Amino acid sequence: MKSVPFRLFAVAALLTLGVTTACAEEPGTGGGGDTAKAKIAFLMPDIASTRYELFDAPLFKAKIKELCAGCEVLYQNANADASKQQQQANSVLAQGVKAIVLDPVDSAAAATIVQTAQSQKVPVIAYDRPIPQAKADYYVSFDNEKIGASIAQSLVDQLKASGAKGGILQVNGSPTDAAAGLIKKGVHSAVDPSGIKLLAEYDTPGWQPPKAQEWVSGQITKFPGQIAGVVAANDGTGGGTIAAFKAAGAPVPPVTGNDAELAAVQRVISGDQFNTISKPIKIVAEAAAEIAWKFVQGQPPAAKTTLFDTPSELFTPTVVTQKNVVEVMLGAQGGLKPTEVCTAEYKAACDKLGIK
């Protein structure tokens, strides 16, 4: 074997030592610096849904701590303000984050956040809501189109089985949320060919339950006795819908939901809400943490699928009705405890379903 000149050996050694740094300099790969003390941003969209404060943020932080004891999660909630979310993104970038997990207020406006972060070699993981106008580095969520199709088909099947007369109202999510658009598409895929008339539909600004309630109140007046069911895109708009019927003194028809919030699970048990969707937040929060950590280490994960040309991982949701609420939502799988669900107001309904 010929001897290797010292200069070449030294260059090779330096190149070997520099591999991690070089990888870190590739756009969107993260890495670089002291990864053991990395800062990771977790930017959520609103407080209209209680899930972000109660579940998403705590679960994400806990998983990051498990993966990297010295890492720090910078959590911010934009309270449905796209401009505020832009400011929050700028702030965490200035603080030197190595990755951003972003659930956008406005999917179109969030393209700027993605482009700004990537220009600074900071990867962006879109969370729960996609960002079609800019290619994020990864997207992790439940399958939103399947959610819409599932809740709507469940309602359609119920109305046909019961022989209900009348049509359906469709209460969609925010018009600025691409995930809401996917849910809406899924709903139409079930409702449109069902033969049941779609009376009217509404895109709820900011997913705000009071807006949904206000619109549904107007439809109750417009279509007296004609509303057989309502497809509401999430538990907040579903709750607003139910409140509208109760305020009008009208019978509450089957109403859908999505997110399996505690209040919605209680409404399902009591019969006020027909269904919701179980999307164990632990699944997506922990998956997002693992994906973010891989980017921080400069090891982008392989795509499980793609959506909007973005490497993605999409989980399958479960429809929850009275028939399976105990199995899906209580105990180890759902994580809810009977003591949480069966408060005084719901004790009789819990007893009827054998929940103790």
pLDDT in tens, 129-166: 999 999 999 999 999 999 999 999 999 999 999 999 99
User: In 247-260, which positions are buried (b, 16+ CB within 10 angstroms) versus exposed (e)?
Assistant: eeeeebbbbbbbbb
203 phi and psi, to 5 degrees? -95, 115
DSSP state of 54: I
pLDDT bin (cut points 50, 70, 90) of residue 33 is: low
333: which 2 tokens? 């799988």
Q: What's the token pair of residue 127?
A: 């969370």
Report the phi/psi class of residue 335: left, alpha or beta, with left for phi > 0 and alpha for psi in -120 to 50: left
Position 101, amino acid? V
Mean pLDDT of 45-65: 93
- Backbone φ, ψ for residue 172 (5° rounding): -85, 175
The CB density around residue 356, as the number of other CB atoms within 10 Å, is 8
What distance in Å separates the CA atoms of residue 42 and residue 37, rounded to the nearest whole number?
16
Query: Would you state the structure tokens that stand for residue 325, as one six-digit string?
Result: 């609420």
Contacts of 20 (CB under 8 A, 6+ apart): 31, 32, 298
Domains of the chain (ranges, CATH numbers): 27-143+281-315 (3.40.50.2300), 144-280+317-352 (3.40.50.2300)
Confidence class for position 34, pLDDT limits 50, 70, 90: confident
- Structure token pair of residue 328: 């899906």
Q: What local confidence, expressed as pLDDT, does residue 14 receive? A: 36
pTM, two decimals, is 0.84
